Amino acid sequence: MKLSGILSILLQAAAIRRSRLCVVKTYGDGITDDSDNILSAFHGCNNGGHVLFPRGKVYVIGTAMDWTFLKHIDIDIQGRIRFTNDTAYWQAHSFRFIFQNVTSFFKLGGEDVWIYGGGTLDGNGQVWYDTYAANAYTLRPVLVGIDGLKDSVLSDLVLRHSPQYYHFVANASNIVFNNISIAGDSTSKNTAKNTDGWDTYRSRDVTIMNSVVNNADDCISFKPNSTDILVQSLFCAGSHGISVGSLGQYVGEFDIVESIMVSNVSMHNASDGARIKVWPNTASAMSSDLQGGGGSGSVRNITYEDMLIDNVDYAIEITQCYGQRNLALCQQYPSSLTIENIVFRRFKGRTSAKYRPLIAAFACSSAKVCSNIHATDINVVSPGGTRQAYCLNQQETNLDADCTNNYKGFN
C-alpha cells in the first residue's frame, strides 16, 4: 500500500466523528449466544458510532453473521469473543468463498471500519483440529473472513486458535493490519493445519505490519489477483514462509500476483523464508482435499528484502512443481504461468539441516516462463557452512549462491 492510501484512511476517519456509543451486552454465562446483542450494537452505531466490547467481558458467537453493511464505525474489542465448537452448525451455515474450501464464521465488509482495542478473538480451534484429522473434507471456518472491505484498519488484536486461516482477505482494498498477535497450537496429537496468518485474494492496496505470527502454515500467502501489497516488520515462527501462491491451481483461470514488497521479516523454525509456489500444467494432488494444476497467469515485480533466517529449511524457494512429486512430469508439462522481475536481497542467517548443503531452490519448469530473477547479498549458510542452491532453468549469474543440480526435494 502506498503512503497516500494510508493517509486517505486517516483523513476519511477524521472527517466523520464516532459520536454515538454502543456498549455490547452479553448474557454472561459463557454459553448463550450473544450474536443478537452484537448485531444490535453494530446497527445502532453504524454510520458514526463507537461499539465497545468492554474489558473483562466474554462474548459467545454461535450464529453466522453478515457484517458487510458496516460503514464509518469503530469496533473497540477490549474483551474476549469466542466462537462455539458446534462443528455441524458451522459447516452448514458458515459463509462460503469461491476459492479452495474457504468458509468463515462471519463476513466483514463495508467501508471505513476501524477494529482495535487489544482484545481477543478465539476460534475454539481444538475441536476442528481433531475433526479435520478424522475427516479431511471438513469445512473449517477462517477466524476473520473479509469480503469487500475497503478504507479500513484492523489493529491491536489478539487472534487465537483459528480452525483454518486466521485472515482471508477477499475483494478488499486500502486496508491496514497493524500489531496483530496470532497463535494457537493443538493440545492433542492432531496438529493445527492450514492456519495461515493472512491469505489475500482478489485484493489490492493492503498493508500488513508490526505483527507476530506463531502458526503451522504460511505466515502470509498472496493468493490469486493480489496486487500492491506491503508487508513489513513481522516475526514469523513455525510457518511455511511468506508465500506467493499457490497459483495456477484451476484450469481456465488466469492468476495475477504483482507489486508486492516484503521487508524486515524474521523467520524462525520454518519450512521456508521467501517462497513462490506454482502448480504444474498437469493434474496433481497436494492432499486428499487439495488438488489442482493447469492454470495460467503471471507473477511479477515481487521484492523480498532484509529477511532474517533462523533454522529455516529453505531461505528461498521457487517451485513450479507444487503438489507434484514427480519433477520430470513438471518439466514434461511446464507451467504456463510466468514469473518475472523477482528480487531477493539482504538475507542473513542459517538454514536447518533438512536440505543441507542447500540453502535455497530456484526451480522453474521452463526457461521460457521465468526471467529476471535476482538474489543479491544472500548471507545465509547451511549448518555445514555451505551456500548451495538448486537451480533449474535459471540465469545462474543473477543468483548469489553456488548453483547445483543436486535436487533435495520440495515442501
Q: Which three cell numbers stand for residue 60?
A: 459467545
H helices of 27-79, in order, are 35-44
User: Under a CB-based contact definition with an 8 Å cutoff, are residues 377 and 345 in contact?
Assistant: yes
Percent helix, strand, coil in the chain, to 5, is 10, 50, 35
Using CB atoms within 10 Å of the CB of residue 10, give its burial: 0 to 12 exposed, 13 to 18 middle, 19+ buried.
exposed
Cβ-based neighbours of 313, under 8 Å, separated by 6 or more: 270, 271, 272, 351, 352, 354, 355, 411
What secondary structure does DSSP assign to 359-387, as a single string? EEEEE-S-GGGEEEEEEEEEEEE-TTS--
Amino acid occupying residue 290: L
Amino acid occupying residue 176: V
240 carries an active-site annotation: yes
Measured CA to CA, the distance from residue 390 to residue 357 in angstroms comes to 10
User: Under a CB-based contact definition with an 8 Å cutoff, are residues 206 and 9 in contact?
Assistant: no
Amino acid occupying residue 372: N
Which position among 50, 161, 167, 240 bears the catalytic label?
240
Question: How many Å separate Cα 54 from the centre of its chain?
Answer: 29
Residues taking part in catalysis: 240
